[in-house]
Amino acid sequence: MRTMYPDIEPYRTHQIAVDARHTLYVEECGNPEGLPVVFLHGGPGAGLSPYHRRFFDPARYRIVLFDQRGAGRSTPFADLTDNTTWHLVGDIETLRERFGIERWVVFGGSWGSTLALAYAQTHPERVLGLVLRGIFLSRPEEIRWYYEEGGASWILPEKWQRYASIIPLAERGNMLDAYWHRLTSDDETVRLAAAKAWGAWEGGGITLEESPETEASFAAPDVALSLARIEAHYFRHLAFLEPGQLLRNVEKLRRIPTTIVHGRYDIICPAKNACDLAAEWPEADFHIVLAGHAATEPAIVDVLVQATDRLADRYC
């Protein structure tokens, strides 16, 4: 099985203002003359991690990574103003133009797959290839599955109880709204408690095997606050997408070389999401593998690295 490439450091970092309010943290890694790829992180609001650089051959790829609005080292932190899917699609184009890139590969997992699809359907002429992992289409049933008392609460019952415990019984019929009111409270203590509970719930479902370290990392304040606030903001608005938009617009992507990989036992984004996408897109190279949701699951890494290597073979 393929593994990730060795650790690398950026050869250049930037703080790029995309409007009067938001400034994005951006990294360039690998080969400045290589095949351009943009990495779209999950969440929304999760931000970058160093391992995100390692899905690409650094000798053959010019790797562009950025913290999306309100996430990671972008500013203002956890900010919701002018923060929608379509603002982010515009930001991707701003970065492409800023770096003088004509066309590039787009790589995204979880929320990043949502954003990758939205971007590619808006600008298909700018996309050389798509690599998509842990498909999330932002449909109401997907949000109910994990953030309301859907199927995930039956699979992770003790973790669900902790997630639900900070919400009074009378408000548990709409967990998303109950969390939203707390995540936007004027009381910093209330905001942080809700964010940490949300982050622990999400981190607790990511890996196939139990990982207390992963759960704790998602509950850390510097991750949890942006993750919880921005996710709740997006999910309350169904990611600012029209019903069925991402499936309906697959027609625009059929000629783009695409790999889709999804964990069979993904609790956060059930495999049905990927199957629904693949059913509309038989031209895509579709894999269901023995894994959970995390991009670091060995079977998922194997498919992702093979996919990026194939695109490098094709274009380099």
Q: Which of 153, 266, 287, 302 is catalytic?
A: 266
The Cα-based distances of 114 to 53, 69, 107, 188, 277 in angstroms read: 20, 15, 11, 31, 11
- Residue 266 is among the residues annotated as catalytic for this protein: yes
Is the dihedral angle over the CA atoms 175, 178, 181, 182 positive or is it negative? negative
Distance (Å, whole) CA 266 – CA 113: 15
Q: Which of 22, 52, 67, 110 is catalytic?
A: 110
Q: What is the DSSP string of 78-138?
A: T--TT-SHHHHHHHHHHHHHHTT-SSEEEEEETHHHHHHHHHHHH-GGGEEEEEEES----
- Residue 293 is among the residues annotated as catalytic for this protein: yes
- Residue 110 is among the residues annotated as catalytic for this protein: yes
Distance (Å, whole) CA 187 – CA 73: 24
In the DSSP assignment, the letter for residue 240 is G
End-to-end CA distance of the chain: 23
Distance (Å, whole) CA 137 – CA 102: 27
Distance (Å, whole) CA 133 – CA 138: 14
Q: Which of 233, 262, 287, 293 is catalytic?
A: 293
The Cα-based distances of 69 to 37, 62, 143, 219 in angstroms read: 19, 22, 21, 20
CA 223 to chain centre: 14
Give the active site residues.
110, 266, 293
